[in-house]
């Protein structure tokens, strides 16, 4: 059971108290990919943390004192310092906490990682039509889709705010007859992965009868 499996706080909720020493708090939402980044880094570095999930459709009034527009993720430490923007929060955690460094030490390698991230945003930013190539599905959409189908298995669909155009694209793709006809259902895919990571040669035939 994930440590963030708690009900969200919404309008009218009591503001949380100060963050205890030795712990860092993350304001989050279970299905938000941006907050997910921060949860990954917290977990990867073994950082003691607590998670408060925010109801993004019904934000608590007190939450605007943590972030001017009520966005997530936000980190709050025991010194009442607030850090927001997912990438900034992740870098802060890597800098502030000991143990395994997630960013490389070499300045050029660090720069390369940051340049790759810019490319990722460019992909999202290149979308000014429903599909990446225009108003109809085309090559580029098919070339991207397999990775997004797999991400879909893990359920990012419910994030509000951040990537509405991407959500629309995923929905539109699923309506395409070609994509539809080749969709792998979640359980089959998970069954495959399970066997695959056990190095079970039967993995590749998972889900086939006889």
Residues that bind another protein (CB under 8 A): 77, 79, 81, 83-85, 88-89, 91-92, 95-96, 107-108, 110-111, 114-115, 118
Please identify, using beta-carbon distances, which residue of 95 and 205 lies nearer to another protein. 95
- Count of H-run helices and E-run strands, the chain: 7, 4
- Closest approach, Cβ 31 to another protein, in A, equals 23
- Closest approach, Cβ 67 to another protein, in A, equals 11
Please identify, using beta-carbon distances, which residue of 84 and 131 lies nearer to another protein. 84
Rounded CA-CA distance 160/57 in Å is: 8
- Closest approach, Cβ 101 to another protein, in A, equals 12
For residue 206, what are its two tokens?
């998972």
- Closest approach, Cβ 204 to another protein, in A, equals 37
Beta strands in the chain (DSSP E): 24-28, 49-53, 74-76, 82-84
Please identify, using beta-carbon distances, which residue of 106 and 205 lies nearer to another protein. 106
Is 32 among the residues known to form the active site? Answer: yes
For residue 201, what are its two tokens?
């040669």
**Which long-range contacts does 170-174 make (Cβ < 8 Å, 24+ apart)?**
172/130, 172/131, 172/137, 173/137, 173/141, 173/145, 173/148
Please identify, using beta-carbon distances, which residue of 77 and 163 lies nearer to another protein. 77
For residue 35, what are its two tokens?
């907050």
Please identify every residue annotated as catalytic: 32
């Amino acid at each position: 059971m994930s440590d963030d499996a708690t009900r969200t706080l919404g309008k009218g909720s009591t503001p949380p108290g100060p963050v205890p020493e030795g712990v860092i708090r993350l304001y989050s939402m279970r299905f938000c990919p941006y907050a997910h980044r921060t949860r990954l880094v917290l977990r990867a570095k073994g950082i003691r943390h607590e998670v408060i999930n925010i109801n993004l459709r019904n934000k608590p009034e007190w939450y605007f004192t943590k972030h001017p527009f009520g966005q997530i993720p936000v980190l709050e430490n025991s010194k009442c310092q607030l850090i927001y923007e997912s990438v900034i929060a992740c870098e802060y955690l890597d800098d502030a906490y000991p143990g395994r460094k997630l960013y490389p030490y070499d300045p050029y390698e660090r720069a390369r990682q940051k340049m790759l991230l810019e490319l990722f945003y460019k992909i999202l930013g290149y979308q000014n039509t429903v599909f990446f190539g225009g108003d109809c599905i085309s090559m580029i959409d098919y070339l991207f889709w397999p990775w997004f189908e797999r991400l879909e298995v893990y359920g990012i669909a419910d994030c509000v705010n951040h990537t509405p155009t991407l959500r629309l694209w995923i929905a539109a793709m699923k309506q395409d007859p070609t994509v539809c006809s080749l969709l792998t259902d979640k359980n089959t895919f998970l069954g495959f992965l399970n066997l695959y990571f056990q190095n079970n040669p039967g993995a590749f035939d998972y889900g086939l009868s006889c």
